[in-house]
Amino acid sequence: MNLHDEDATNAFASRIVVLQTRWYASQNSNINNSEPYLARTYINMPIASSKSQTLSFYLLDTPICVYKMTIPEQYKKSYKPPFQEQPSAPGLQRKLDPQPLDDITADGRPYRPAGKLEGRSALITGADSGIGRSIALLFALEGANITIHGTNKEQHELNDIEQEILKRTSKVKVHKLIYDLRQEENCILMVQEHMNVFGKLDALVLNHGTQNANTDLPTLSSKQWHDTFDTNIHSFFYIVKAVIPIMEPGSTVTFNASINFAVGHPELIDYTSTKGAMIGFMRALSNQIVGEKGIRCNAVAPGPIWTPLIPATMTKESIETFGTSVPVGRAGQPIEVATTFVYLTSADSSYISGQVIHVNGGVVIN
């Protein structure tokens, strides 16, 4: 092509825009093709010269009748999921209506990876559904090899996310593990198996947890109290104790906590207590190891996020009003939390440790 022929050059560039946009649409279902929009793109072409320079020019505002992104209903103010219940924790993602959004951001676009975790190896617990599932998908898209954990009840859903990852990228390895993490020996075995497969651990994401609503403390059984603590905080101690000796400087430990440690959910006294303990553990751990070992420790404290735990564990009244009390005016989606985990695991957050990031729909936490 003659680079001095402006008409030919612009025609070529327009064709590139169309092809790029059609490919993008073929990868994503959240698109309609009913309206034109203005596209911009950079086109790079070689110039025949001894220095092999590259000519870059900007194709401005080229109207093409192709595709337009639409904003999912779940991101619109005052949106409430249809009322639904599941019989028991942990709940199943397959049964949720609508499905939580794992990789579609609030602008209606698919998540855009940037290689932020290339070459890293991560262990993610509770990765079968909800926030953990989205974390696993985003970590893989960002280039991390991952071990994903679930329980026996969640094995089929763990298979689902593994297949989704392998469909989306062929550049990473995924290893699945099924363990009851209430037992210390299982926590140790999980870490050992990850190391046997990948040989290193750069990022630990402790996302697993349980809850069950109770509105009258005298009726809260000691068994439920102990099960909640065994799952939500004792297992964190067991796992962190096992990984600290094998993690290198620059590694990260990130906990999934909850807004409830700060606000105190009246239906979740045992759960809230474990989340408070989790934050104290994270802060003390950071103070102990970030300077000496170079391992950063942080936590994310989500607000109301649409996951299987909601219809499986909350009271009818809480399900009916879920997400409506926060300033943003709606429940959050798993990807809105998972992107924070990508940030805290990547070099973008290299000066952050001992902190809690609140992803809660605008609730002010001091």
Chain position carrying tokens 């900007």 = 58
Please name the fold of domain 88-359.
Rossmann fold (3.40.50)
Half-sphere exposure of 34 toward its Cβ, with a 13 Å CA cutoff? 4
- Which residues fall within 8 angstroms of residue 150, CB to CB, at 6 or more apart? 126, 127, 128, 157, 158, 176, 177, 178
Domain limits, the chain: 6-69, 88-359
59 in Cβ contact with 40 (< 8 Å): yes
344 in Cβ contact with 257 (< 8 Å): no
**Residues 91, 186, 150: CA angle, nearest 5 degrees:** 25
Q: Is 58 a catalytic residue?
A: no
Q: Which tokens go with 72?
A: 């999912």
**pTM above threshold 0.75:** yes
The catalytic position among 24, 271, 343, 351 is 271
In degrees to the nearest 10, what's the CA dihedral of 355, 127, 29, 97? -100
List, for residues 179-208, the tens digit of each pLDDT value: 999 999 999 999 999 999 999 999 999 999
Q: Can you give the pLDDT at residue 5?
A: 53
Q: Can you give the pLDDT at residue 8?
A: 53
Which 3 state secondary structure label does DSSP give 26? Answer: helix
Q: Can you give the pLDDT at residue 68?
A: 57
Strand 174-178 with 203-206, pairing: unpaired
161 in Cβ contact with 148 (< 8 Å): yes
Q: Can you give the pLDDT at residue 31?
A: 44
Q: Can you give the pLDDT at residue 51?
A: 37
If one counts every other C-beta atom within 10 angstroms of the C-beta of residue 67, the result is 21
- From 249, 115, 129, 228, select the one nearest 181 (Cα to Cα): 228
Q: Consecutive 10-residue runs of the chain (366 residues): their mean pLDDT?
A: 50 46 48 41 38 39 52 93 87 90 96 97 97 98 98 94 96 98 98 98 98 95 98 98 98 98 96 98 98 98 93 89 93 97 98 98 96
Give the whole-angstrom CA distance, residue 142 versus residue 11.
34
Which 3 state secondary structure label does DSSP give 63? Answer: strand
